[in-house]
Every structure is written in C-alpha cells, then in structure tokens.
Amino acid sequence: MDYETEEQQVEALKQWWKDNGRSVIVGIVLGVGVIGGWQAYGRYNQAQAEEASEQFASVMFAVEDDNAENNPVEIAAALQDNQSGSLYATLASMTAARVLIQEGDLDGAAAKLQWAVDHSPEAAVAGLASIRLARVLGASGKHDEALAILPVNPPEGYIGVTEEIRGDVLAAKGDAVAARAAYQKALDNAPTMTGERIVNIKMEDLADATSADQS
C-alpha cells in the first residue's frame, strides 16, 4: 500500500489500531498469562517433587536411625497418601515393606509391595516390586498367588531374578521338575539375585534319577 502523505499514514495507523488494538492487547495479556501460568505450574511441580523427595529422604533416614519417634512406615504412609503417583511414594512403600519384614509382618509387607506394584509410575520399578511381592507371598506359603504374580515371559533384564524366584516357589510347592527348569532358565539367561553358585546348588539339590546322569 502506498500512502500519499504522512497524515494519511498516521490516519491509517490510527484506523488499524481502532480495528485491531483490542485483539492485540487481549493477545498479549493471554500470552503473558500462559507464560506465567506455565511457570507457576513448573514451580508447583518443583515444589511437589521437592516435598516428595524430602519425605522420602526422611523415610530413609528413619530406617537408619532406629529411633522409635520416627517410624519409617508412618512417614512412608503419609507420602503414599499425599503423592500416590510419585515414584518417591513407590520407593517409600518398598522401603516400608522391608521394615515390616524386619518386624516379622509378612502380610503387612505384602500389602506395601502390592501398593508399589499398583502405583509405580515406572514399569521397571513396578516389575521389581512384584518380584519382591512374589517372594513374600511364597514365604507366607501362598505359592499359587506368588506364581500368579510372576510374569511368564519377564522382560529381558528381569529373567534371571524372576526365574530364580519362580524356582524357589515351585520347589517350596514340591514341583521339583518345574523348579529345575526355572533355575536352569535363570542360569542360562542373566545374573540372578543370589548369584550363580547358589542357584546352581538349589537346582542340583532337586536332582532326581532322570535329571542326573548316574549310569
């Protein structure tokens, strides 16, 4: 567009502002609002995460401290209630399970581990929690429940630990053949929980006439 005079130019600008001024202002306000909102959201997230981290750290400190005033299970429970979706809450719950085992409360420990399995936002950690849960259930004599929890085809990184536990539960249940097969899988695939030597011993102890060559 060409303007004849300066006046015309100013006039055109004024006209433009009249037409569009409001939209521009609203746009800027909206933009600033979004930026501010985003940053506030970020700050909120940060604060939430720091709080979860702090509470989790207190759980860990309480475990070490052995001080009756700071019960790690209670601190963990508060974190689980406040921020159930946080990975910190999952880890706190798993730590609480450990403390309960120390106190001989296998059912309580199982509940804590079940919570971790259900709430963990990280699949790898949930996988680990379910392996621990299966061990606790197996030790409580709930063999079938334990077997039901262990994945039939565990992800590659967990084959060793999973199959070792499956072998333990099957052996406790009295199924030597299946237990041997599970131990063998554990040995074939990946590092195990208690180490190759112990898994080997567990497996060999279940030998029968068909598995060991005694001719």
Site for other proteins in 121-140 (CB under 8 A): 121-125, 127-128, 131-132, 135-136, 139
Is residue 102 close enough to count as binding other proteins by CB under 8 A?
Answer: yes
Nearer Cβ to other proteins, position 7 or 208? Answer: 208
CA distance 108 to 153: 28
CB of 69 to other proteins, least distance (A): 16
CA distances from 3 to 10, 14, 20, 97, 111 (A): 10, 14, 20, 80, 79
Contact assessment for residue 169 and residue 138, using Cβ atoms and an 8 Å cutoff: yes
Nearer Cβ to other proteins, position 13 or 26? Answer: 26
Is residue 63 close enough to count as binding other proteins by CB under 8 A?
Answer: yes
**Which two three-digit tokens encode residue 8?**
């015309």
Is residue 185 close enough to count as binding other proteins by CB under 8 A?
Answer: no
H/E stretch holding 63 reads helix 6-65
CB of 186 to other proteins, least distance (A): 11
Contact assessment for residue 144 and residue 166, using Cβ atoms and an 8 Å cutoff: no
CB of 38 to other proteins, least distance (A): 5
Q: How many CA atoms lie within 13 A of 26 on its CB side?
A: 4
Is residue 95 close enough to count as binding other proteins by CB under 8 A?
Answer: yes
What is the distance, to the nearest Å, from the Cα of residue 31 to the centroid of all Cα atoms in its chain?
37
Is residue 119 close enough to count as binding other proteins by CB under 8 A?
Answer: no
Is residue 97 close enough to count as binding other proteins by CB under 8 A?
Answer: yes
CB of 148 to other proteins, least distance (A): 19
Q: Which of 12, 26, 148, 177 binds other proteins (CB under 8 A)?
A: 26
